[in-house]
Every structure is written in C-alpha cells, then in structure tokens.
C-alpha cells in the first residue's frame, strides 16, 4: 500500500494511492495515518479495504507528510562511507544519532524556508522508515518485524548552524520545513529489500546526488536494533537513515541553496519530491 495524507497544512486527511493512479479518501476507514493505523492490527485492517470503492480525491490537492502525530524524528549521520569522506570525517564505529524537531516536518512539495541568518543551506536525500510495532531492546534477527514502511526524507541542513555554532547538530537540522516527507508511505511488503534502492537529488535541474542504499554503513535492521537499545521506539516514530555523497558542503567549492532555488529528489519505488527555497 501507498498511504498518504492530503489537504491544507494542519487539516490533512488520510488517503491511499490506488493502483489506477488515483488518490482515494480513507477518512471513513481511519482517523489518520498515525501510530495506531501503522500498527500490525491497523495495517491488517487497511489491507482489507477495497480501494476501488473509496471516494476519489480531486487532482492537484496538496500532499502533507504521510505520518501524523510523529513522536520522534531520529536521524543517522555519516551513514554512507563516501559521504563521511566528503565531509572530512571518519566512518563512525557506531551509528551517529541526532534528533530533528518534529516541527520541521513538512509535505513533499512544500517550500523550504531559508532561515534568518542562513549562509549554508544544504540538501540531503535519504531513505526514511517508520516504526509500526513498539521496539525496546530488539534483537537484530527480529528487527524488521518492527518496521511499518518507507518514505523519502530530505534532511535539509543549515551547515553554519550545525557545525560552526556551539552545541549539537539539532540546531542546524530543525528549522521549520527542514524535514519534507513523502509523497507517500510505502508499506514494507512493497519494499522487499530496503538495502537495494537507488536515490538521487537535483538542484536547479542539475544532478547533485546519485547513490544507493546498498552502500549504507548501517542498514535498516541494524538501526532498529541499535537505536532500541537506547530508547523505546513507538509506532509512528520515524528514522531517516543518512545520505549518499553529493551534498553542497562537500563540493569544491561548496555550494548552498538560496532563495528561488529548486530541489527535486527521489528514492526508487517511493516517489519524488519537489521544493522551492523561499525567504522566511
């Protein structure tokens, strides 16, 4: 299934993408695409829904982030060896974890805000996954049982806030609009191997990133296992897994986003995003 949330920001409704390409309304079936809907029981109920009988949503409607009421948005840094190299950093001996504020979550085609004082606004195409079953001290061999599905995340970053200011990375990762998600959540049965997906990103029509999840240092299963040793993962929590090389910070000379720039990105089987940079 491909699950979506559509409508004006803050008033999104649940939906799904039918096999005929139409968007169908799920409002009479579930309250929202949240942790309850993404649990094993919730997804089992949705699998029995006859999408052809659901109301068709008019074309051109805005898509929001596919998951509502996200409790935690956890990100993994330096999870591609070649991206670590372009950042001038070693491959970490354990996953590098940081948080992005959930207020940074936005729709897949919503504008990216250029924050006040920003000088180094950067892009990062990433595979994200969503937890469907509560995970605490999860063994590696059963880690994938806790995954509900996958989607695209653009881990937008302000590098001067992230690196040149004191403190943690979260400051450079959490401005409003710094976590575009979607366009849809693809449930795990449609993604048999999350470690074999191509991903790409263009800036103003020029290719900047072109990679594969096959080159991740720490894969999805290991991340569920590892993170669950330090915190409980609840249904609806999102983990975004790192980016391949080609970010603006790693270019020679570095290149960053400014007002009017456009960003297009995609992950194999998970759709595409499009954003324009705007001044706050």
Look at residue 84 in the predicted model and tell me its pLDDT: 78
Instruction: Lay out the sheet containing 238-240: strands in order across.
Output: 23-25, 13-17, 2-6, 185-187, 147-154, 125-131, 238-240, 73-77, 96-99
CA atoms within 13 A on the CB side of 134: 3
Domains of the chain, by residue range, sit at: 68-279
- pLDDT tens per residue, range 125-184: 999 999 999 999 999 999 999 999 999 999 999 999 999 988 889 999 999 999 999 999
Averaged pLDDT score across all residues of the chain? 96
CA atoms within 13 A on the CB side of 149: 29
d(CA 52, CA 44): 18
Look at residue 82 in the predicted model and tell me its pLDDT: 80
Cβ atoms 211, 201 nearer than 8 A: no
- Which residue stretches of 33-183 are H helix? 35-38, 40-47, 81-86, 159
- pLDDT tens per residue, range 100-131: 999 999 999 999 999 999 999 999 999 999 99
Using the predicted structure, report yes or no on whether residue 241 has a pLDDT greater than 80. Answer: yes
pTM: 0.96
- pLDDT tens per residue, range 43-79: 999 999 999 999 999 999 999 999 999 999 999 999 9
CA of 181: how far to CAs of 40, 130, 140, 162, in Å?
A: 22, 11, 26, 21
Is the dihedral angle over the CA atoms 246, 249, 250, 256 positive or is it negative? positive
Q: How confident is the model at residue 217 (pLDDT cuts 50, 70, 90)?
A: very high
Using the predicted structure, report yes or no on whether residue 258 has a pLDDT greater than 80. Answer: yes
The CATH number of 68-279, from 3.90.850.10, 3.40.50.920, 3.90.79.10, 3.40.367.20, is 3.90.850.10
């Amino acid at each position: 299934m491909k699950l979506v949330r559509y409508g004006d920001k803050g008033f999104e409704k649940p939906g799904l993408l039918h096999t005929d390409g139409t968007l169908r309304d799920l409002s009479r079936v579930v309250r929202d695409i949240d942790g309850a809907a993404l649990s094993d029981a919730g997804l089992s109920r949705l699998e029995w829904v006859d999408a052809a009988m659901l109301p068709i949503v008019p074309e051109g409607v805005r898509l929001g982030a596919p998951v509502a009421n996200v409790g935690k948005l956890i990100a993994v840094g330096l999870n591609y060896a070649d991206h670590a190299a372009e950042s001038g950093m070693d491959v970490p001996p354990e996953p590098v974890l940081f948080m992005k504020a959930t207020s940074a979550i936005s729709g897949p085609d919503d504008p990216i805000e250029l924050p006040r004082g920003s000088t180094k606004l950067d892009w990062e195409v990433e595979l994200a996954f969503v937890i469907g079953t509560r995970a605490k001290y999860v063994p590696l061999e059963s880690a994938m049982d806790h995954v509900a599905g996958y989607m695209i995340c653009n881990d937008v970053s302000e590098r001067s806030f992230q690196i040149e200011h004191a403190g943690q990375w979260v400051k450079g990762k959490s401005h409003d609009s710094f976590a575009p998600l979607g366009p849809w959540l693809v449930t795990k049965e449609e993604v048999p191997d999350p470690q074999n997906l191509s991903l790409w990103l263009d800036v103003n029509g020029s290719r900047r990133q072109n990679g594969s999840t096959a080159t991740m240092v720490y894969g999805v299963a290991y991340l569920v296992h590892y993170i669950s040793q330090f915190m409980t993962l609840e249904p609806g929590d999102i983990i975004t897994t790192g980016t391949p090389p080609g970010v603006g910070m790693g270019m020679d000379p570095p290149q960053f986003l400014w007002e009017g720039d456009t960003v297009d990105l995609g992950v194999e089987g998970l759709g595409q995003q499009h954003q324009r940079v705007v001044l706050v």
